Amino acid sequence: MACTCVVGLQWGDEAKGKIVDLLTSEHHVVVRYNGGANAGHTVVRNGRTYKLSLIPTGILAPHVTAVIGNGLVVNPVRFLEEVDQLRAAGIAIDGSNLLLSDHAHVIFPYHVEEEKLGDDGAAVAIGTTGRGIGPCYQDKVSRTNGIRVGELLHPEHLRQRLRSVVARKNTVFRALHGAAQTFDADRLCDEYLSYAERLRPHIQDTTVFLHQALRAGKNLLFEAAQGSLLDVDHGTYPFVTSSNSSAAGVWAGSGVPARNLTRIVGVIKAYTSRVGRGPFPTELDDGPQGIGERIRTTGREYGTVTGRPRRCGWLDVVAVRHAARLGGVDELAVMLLDVLSVVDEVRICTAYELDGRRIYDFPGDAFVLDRCRPIYETLPGWKQPLEAARKPGDLPAAARRYLDRITELVGLPVSIVSVGPDREQTVFMN
Ligand code: IMP
């Protein structure tokens, strides 16, 4: 039995989807355990590009059961849109290969509205994806307002719940924001009951399913969304997402105890990117002709979900080391190494300077990290395309040196290197 977790060690968008896709053939079940349709997973398979936000990328493999775990917040509209898109692309989907936890929480339109009003007006505008993720998690924790997927299957109960929740929401919308936008509980209920009929075949207690799968000796692959530095507990708070996006989320978000994990793959880009606001010590904000822009253009660094340009900068091993320790990571996958072919020399941030002192541990608080200045080590670049590399010997010496240095600084082996979006553009280092 193998239980693998693929987790991002930066601020998301580390190209985890490709690694999940590569490892899927060795697994029977692929599980998402956090977040919602704020994630953007791009997978290129047989020359076709799939962009998934909510549904685990494992769905593309016919032998896999894809599971949306209890830790997610699910917008039924997005779920059904993705199912339709996948079906149109020829992927067979039914209640046997796509499971949705009855314990996952449901995103309603008022969550999106709350986010709009909250994020625009808040003192700390986080720059969220605007998908209602944070407000839905708030309602989950509040208990009085949270509605779970399983409740969609009980019409009368759902109507009562929505009447009481929506009344509270409308009071707040009117009082605090003077918002013209209020919601009609009965209309919302009818709308969601119609979605429920299509969701019904997929809904079950996925924790029970996963435990059965474990007992049957099946291999499970846990697919994190976002990156560990966006983890609500361990990331750059408050510029984080609202879930445990590090490997710490597996247990709570799926019901599978962490001790079952046999392999944890930490995925990093060969540089760093970030969408949304928040501190980013190695950011290259060096203008339209600068290296930051060159990396953004070459790496096509625009958000999968929102289309926003991603902020780009050098690799930060202080941050990666923190995330790797937090996740109990065994090995690293280094993605988009080919993008760094456009620079003359490469830099790695090995420490920060904070108030005149050199520090090696990552300060999780955004207001402290904001004051940290990166200390760099510079290595020669390789200035040649890597897209055709298929084995370690195909990589130029300078690129291998860069990877070795990452291993030394993070203290973990690099097992997989990606040199392009296609599955074949991968170098297995062992
Ligand atoms: P939220 O998850 O929409 O609440 O957004 C919170 C923060 O997480 C914002 O900075 C987003 O840009 C960021 N974020 C959310 N999902 C992703 C992702 O999949 N990749 C990268 N950043 C993300």
**Ligand 1 center–CA 12 separation, angstroms:** 8
CA dist 297 → 40, 101, 140, 150, 301 (Å): 18, 39, 39, 44, 7
C-beta neighbour count of 209 within 10 angstroms: 17
Q: Domain 268-428 is in which class? A: alpha beta
Per-domain residue ranges for the chain? 3-101+204-263, 105-198, 268-428
Q: What is the pLDDT of residue 303?
A: 83
Atom of ligand 1 at shortest distance to CA of 35? 2
Can you give the pLDDT at residue 120?
57
Q: What spacing in Å lies between the alpha carbon of 66 and ligand 1's midpoint?
A: 22
Determine the atom of ligand 1 nearest the C-alpha atom of 130.
3
Domain 105-198 has CATH 1.10.300.10: yes
* Cβ contacts of 360 within 8 Å, gap of 6 or more: 318, 350, 351, 352
For 91-109, the DSSP string reads ----TTTEEEETTSEEP-H
Looking at ligand 1, which residue's alpha carbon is closest to its atom 1? 128
The residues assigned a catalytic role are 13, 41
Q: Whose CA is nearest to atom 15 of ligand 1?
A: 38
CA 429 to chain centre: 25
**Distance (Å, rounded) from C-alpha 129 to C-alpha 255?**
27
Phi, psi of 27 (to 5 degrees): -125, 155
Ligand 1: distance of its center to the CA of 127 in Å? 8
For residue 47, what are the contacts with CB-CB under 8 A and spacing of at least 6? none
| Structure confidence at residue 424 (pLDDT) | 94
**Was domain 3-101+204-263 assigned CATH 3.40.440.10?**
yes
B/e letters for 31-56, b = 16+ CB within 10 Å, e = fewer, are bbbbbbbbbbbbbbbeeeebebbbbb
Give the residue ranges of the chain where pLDDT is below 70. 119-124, 179
pTM of structure: 0.95
Contact 223, 57 (CB under 8 A): yes
Return the percentage of the chain with pLDDT > 90, whole number: 86
Report which ligand 1 atom has the smallest distance to the Cα of 225. 19
3-state secondary structure of 265: strand
Residue (of 72, 56, 75) closest to 253 by Cα position: 72
What pLDDT shows up at residue 28? 98
pLDDT reported for residue 323 = 98
Q: Which residue's CA is minimally distant from atom 8 of ligand 1?
A: 241
